[in-house]
Structure 1
Amino acid sequence: MDIRLIDENFAVTGQLAPEDIAGVVAQGFKTLICNRPDHESDGQPLYDAVAQAATAAGLQTYFIPVAGGQITQENLDEMTAAVENAPTPILAYCRSGTRCTNLYGIVQQQKQR
């Protein structure tokens, strides 16, 4: 797992699998956000499997899938609500972490308006 800290309450990583969840919890994360749509690539662990492991480990989970490079206002609204209401620190994941970083950056810009 290559976890990149964006700020003190938010980090991103690439695709997770259910077996990665123990490590996520061990690093102190309280919330997991998935920004990757299911079936984006062959062999990708599906959100439900990851979320089931995360919930069993005590993490709050959110599924806010963003089709590569196509961030919608609905995605932004859902991400804003998650970031504002979820226990921190938050770990978000997608294929590489870039989508999560971009989405979070736009949310932060909108909050400053």
Structure 2
Amino acid sequence: MKKLDDRVTVAAQVSADDIPAIKAAGFTVVMCNRPDGEEPGQPTWDEVSAAAEAAGLGTSFLPMSNREDAFAVMDEFRRVVDEAPGPVFAYCRSGARCEILWATAQANA
């Protein structure tokens, strides 16, 4: 995990089994910035979001594959972060895309 600011922490791919620890760490929203099906065996967003919602967490699916995608979803990213009742946990394959999205949203605020 990498804390980018008081509102956003990014991480590599998680599974439904990771949701209790994410909730226990104080996060209020789980955001996925990774498209489903990038690699075999990757947990789907449906699996992760179902576990997150069952745990009482908010969810947001903003998949992106490149910088252009980051520009396309940055307003929604900003809205989710701004409206979240607490810290947002964002993940992708390695966390790098989430950080790019965060930086894009910061630079274009």
Q: Considering the TM-score relative to the shorter chain, is it more than 0.5?
A: yes
TM-score (norm 1): 0.90
Alignment of 1:1-113 (within 5 A): 3-111=1-109
Secondary structure (helix, strand or coil) at the match of 2:36 reads coil
CA contact under 8 A between 2:27 and 2:87: conserved in structure 1? Answer: yes
In structure 2, list runs of 5 or more residues that go unmatched: none
- What are the superposed Cα offsets for residues 44-96 of structure 1, whole Å, 9 maximum, x if unpaired? 00001000000000110000000245424321122122112122211100000
Kindly, what percent of the aligned residue pairs are identical?
A: 40
CA distance in 2: counterparts of 1:85 and 1:74, whole angstroms: 19
CA distance in 2: counterparts of 1:74 and 1:31, whole angstroms: 20
Superposed displacement of residue 19, structure 1? 0.2
CA distance in 2: counterparts of 1:87 and 1:11, whole angstroms: 14
CA distance in 2: counterparts of 1:30 and 1:18, whole angstroms: 15
- What are the superposed Cα offsets for residues 16-64 of structure 1, whole Å, 9 maximum, x if unpaired? 1000001101111011110000001110000010000000001100000
CA distance in 2: counterparts of 1:66 and 1:89, whole angstroms: 21
In structure 1, list runs of 5 or more residues that go unmatched: none
Task: Output the aligned Cα RMSD.
Answer: 1.2
Distance 1:72 1:99, change over 3 A: closer
What is the aligned residue count?
109
TM-score (norm 2): 0.94
